[in-house]
Amino acid sequence: MTRVAVLQMTTGIDPEANAGVITDAVAKSAGEGAEMLFTPEMSGLLDRDRKRAASSIVREENDPVLASVRECSARHGIWTCLGSLAVDTGEGKWANRSFVVDPSGQITARYDKIHMFDVDLATGESWRESNAYRAGDKIVTLETPIGRLGLAVCYDLRFPALFEALGNAGCDAIAIPAAFTVPTGQAHWHILQRARAIEASAFVIAAAQVGSHEDGRQTYGHSLVVDPWGEVLLDMGGESAGLQFARIDTSRVENARSQVPSLANRRVIAN
C-alpha cells in the first residue's frame, strides 16, 4: 500500500500565491506519510486573460513555481506530480506541461498536453487553447512509488487512443490533472475517469481545479482516485479546495488484468 495525496485547488492569477498553496501541500503531504502528491492542471497560474498572463509565463528554467516545488519536494523528501504549468517554449507558443519531481528535487518526467481544448459550449463559453498553446506529440511514462505512472492532462481524457497506449505501456496508474468546466464536468467527468481506469486496467488519479477563480471562470472540482476496477476510492467534491489522501494497492492492477485481460485481448480493427 502506498499513500498518495491529492490537492484540489482554486488557482488564481498570482503565481507566488499559488506556489505557496502547493508548497504548503507538499509539506503537509510528507508530514501525513504520503509518498507522492498530485496537483491539478495549471497549478501555477489560471488566467483566461492571455495578455495579462503573458508576463507570468516564462521558460521552464525560470519558472518560480517549478523552482519552489522542486526545492520543497527535496526538503521534505516526497514525489510531486505537478499537474501542469503554462511554460514558454521559446517558439512563439506556450506549452501546457506536466512535471514529475522526485524526492531529491530532480525533474524525472515532462509531458506536454496533446489534445487542445478548442470548443464552443451551449452555455456560450468558447475556448481556443490552440491559439496560445503548442500541442505535445508523445506519451510519457515513468517509474514511481505507485508503479509505472502515465501522464495526461484534462481534455486528453476524451481520447481513448491515448489511454490504450498508456495501458499497452504497462502503466499501473495514470495522472489526469484537470480544470474542467462545470457543464462538461457535470455531464462527463465521473463517467470518463472511471472508463479510462477500466480500459487501461490502471489507477486514475485526477487532481482538479474547483470553484470561482480570479479570472472569472468556474471549475467543476471532484478530484478523484479511481481503482482499476472502476471503483471510486476518493471524490473531493465540487465545493472547495483542500488536501486529501488515498491508498494505492498495486495488487489491484494485476487482479483486474487477470480477471478481464482486455489489454491482452485487444484486436486491431481494420477500416
pLDDT above 90 (res 271): no
CA distances from 26 to 6, 73, 106 (A): 10, 7, 15
pLDDT value of residue 124? 66
pLDDT value of residue 99? 98
Is 41 known to be catalytic? yes
pLDDT above 90 (res 142): yes
3-state secondary structure of 14: coil
- Strand order across the beta sheet in which 203-206 lies: 141-144, 147-151, 173-175, 203-206, 224-226, 232-235
In whole numbers, what is the pLDDT of the chain averaged over residues?
A: 94
pLDDT above 70 (res 127): no
Calculate what percentage of the chain has a pLDDT beyond 70. 97
Instruction: State pLDDT tens for residues 203-242.
Output: 999 999 999 999 999 999 999 999 999 999 999 999 999 9
pLDDT value of residue 260? 76
Instruction: State pLDDT tens for residues 73-123.
Output: 999 999 999 999 999 999 989 999 999 999 999 999 999 999 988 667 677
Q: Which residue has the cell 505557496?
A: 20
pLDDT above 80 (res 37): yes
pLDDT value of residue 262? 75
Is 138 known to be catalytic? no
**DSSP conformation class of 134:** P
Cα separation, 238 vs 186, whole angstroms? 10
Catalytic member of 72, 154, 171, 199: 154
Cβ atoms 9, 54 nearer than 8 A = no
Cell of 71: 526545492
Is 113 known to be catalytic? yes
Relative to beta strand 79-88, strand 36-38 is parallel
pLDDT value of residue 268? 74
pLDDT value of residue 162? 94
pLDDT value of residue 103? 98
pLDDT band for position 270 (50/70/90)?
confident
Catalytic member of 72, 113, 171, 199: 113
Cα separation, 12 vs 216, whole angstroms? 10
Catalytic member of 41, 72, 81, 171: 41
Cβ atoms 70, 78 nearer than 8 A = no
What is 2-264's CATH number?
3.60.110.10
**DSSP conformation class of 208:** B
CA distances from 28 to 33, 173, 237, 251 (A): 9, 23, 20, 27
pLDDT value of residue 118? 67
Relative to beta strand 118-120, strand 2-8 is unpaired
Q: Using alpha carbons only, how large is the chain's radius of gyration in Å? A: 17
